[in-house]
Amino acid sequence: MNLLEKLDTNERLNLEDGMALYELDLFTLGQYANARRRALHQDKAFFNINRHINPTNICKDICKFCAFSANRKNPNPYTMSHEEILGILDNSVKNGITEVHVVSAHNPDAGFEWYMEIFSKIKARFPALHVKAMTAAEINFLATEYKLSFEEVIGKMIEYGVDSMPGGGAEIFDEKVREYICKGKVSSAEWLQIHELWHKRGHESNATMLFGHVEKREHRIDHMLRLRDLQDKTGGFNAFIPLVYQRDNNYLHVEDFLSSTEILKTYAISRLMLDNIAHIKAYWATSTINLALVALEYGADDLDGTIEAEAIQSAAGASSAHGLKLETFLELIETSGFTPVQRDSLYNEIQIYK
């Protein structure tokens, strides 16, 4: 069966097919991805009203792509107090957020309790707020630092009120590329193992992929296939999020931007390869809001959210430091020909804007 026949009959695609998809012209590829996206989600564009908080930027790990952690290029270390975090959320909750997305650097001086009490204190003050927190990289860091098993850290997360896990820390699973861009950080096998354990406890998570740096197309497809294999086992991933690499203020020294065509092709291919993950998120902080809106026609169905503030990607050049206003978000989605659907963190629909 050739590639187009496989696409027409929804056959499962392999590594070779994934590579061949990149060779299609953008419009042909886009038509297939869009058909798949519309079969799943019609003209809905999902988003949530959320707040990102990055409580500390002090990090034991050195990832070459990272501009967020305190280092020579960014010598402004900070660690927020719990009161500070709750104070931010007092305001955000008034603005209608349903989710707080907490991602920290790997700070060996903060203490295990500091990490965990962020969640219990948020839950105590805002019981209805969904806490999406702790990347697999943070879990691996806490397990190593405090000599705990992954199961023990996950047990604590549940006890202290984490509802779902974000998809960060996946970067690129290929071991050679990973060694070059983030040596010493959670390994690919550990990242997958941690998500598997989290899913086995009955909880859901997302998966990211950082692309547009030194990786090749085949590494992206390999990354998607490893996720698809785990999803076959657990069914616990809600969304796949291709994160476009931002090149400012870091040590990777990649000068070239990816073309918009390559970015759109990657969204489209992820829609087609990942036949078992419901949502493809065009995270506007890294793709720009304009390209994220176009991506809605190339396989993506979700834009993340209003964000309010964001420190990781904006440190590397993205324009997400202050989020987007809800009215702007709605207007942009509508003028792009899609129906905005406010969702909760697990993709239950809260409000359809018609």
CA distance 50 to 95: 9
Q: Which residues contact 28 (CB under 8 A, 6 or more apart)?
A: none
Q: What is the closest distance, in whole angstroms, from the C-beta atom of residue 215 to ligand V47 in the complex?
A: 12
Q: What is the closest distance, in whole angstroms, from the C-beta atom of residue 154 to ligand V47 in the complex?
A: 17
Residue number of the CB atom closest to ligand V47: 168
Closer to ligand V47 at the Cβ: 140 or 208? 208
Closer to ligand V47 at the Cβ: 167 or 323? 167
Q: What is the closest distance, in whole angstroms, from the C-beta atom of residue 119 to ligand V47 in the complex?
A: 16
Radius of gyration of the chain (CA): 19
Closer to ligand V47 at the Cβ: 13 or 102? 102
Q: What is the closest distance, in whole angstroms, from the C-beta atom of residue 81 to ligand V47 in the complex?
A: 23
Classify each residue of 271-284 as buried b or exposed e, where b means 16 or more C-beta atoms within 10 Å of its C-beta.
Answer: bbbbeebbbbbbbb
CA distance 132 to 272: 27
Footprint of ligand V47 (CB under 6 A): 65-67, 103, 166-169, 171, 206, 208, 210, 241, 243, 245-246, 250, 283, 286, 304, 312-313, 316
Closer to ligand V47 at the Cβ: 66 or 153? 66
Closer to ligand V47 at the Cβ: 167 or 299? 167
CA distance 222 to 224: 5
What's the one-letter identity of residue 26? Answer: L
Closer to ligand V47 at the Cβ: 31 or 196? 196
Q: What is the closest distance, in whole angstroms, from the C-beta atom of residue 313 to ligand V47 in the complex?
A: 5
Give 11-70 as a DSSP string.
PPP-HHHHHHHHHS-HHHHHHHHHHHHHHHHTTEEEEE-EEEE--B---SS--TT-SSS-
User: Where do the H-state alpha helices sit in 105-250?
Assistant: 112-125, 136-145, 150-160, 175-182, 188-200, 217-234
Closer to ligand V47 at the Cβ: 29 or 71? 71
User: Where do the H-state alpha helices sit in 235-288?
Assistant: 260-273, 284-287
CA distance 96 to 348: 16
Q: What is the closest distance, in whole angstroms, from the C-beta atom of residue 40 to ligand V47 in the complex?
A: 18
Q: What is the closest distance, in whole angstroms, from the C-beta atom of residue 10 to ligand V47 in the complex?
A: 26
Neighbours of 207 (CB within 10 A): 31
What's the one-letter identity of residue 159? Answer: E
Closer to ligand V47 at the Cβ: 188 or 246? 246
Closer to ligand V47 at the Cβ: 140 or 206? 206
CA distance 152 to 182: 25
Q: What is the closest distance, in whole angstroms, from the C-beta atom of residue 15 to ligand V47 in the complex?
A: 22
Q: What is the closest distance, in whole angstroms, from the C-beta atom of residue 326 to ligand V47 in the complex?
A: 18
Secondary structure of residue 76 in the 3-state scheme: coil
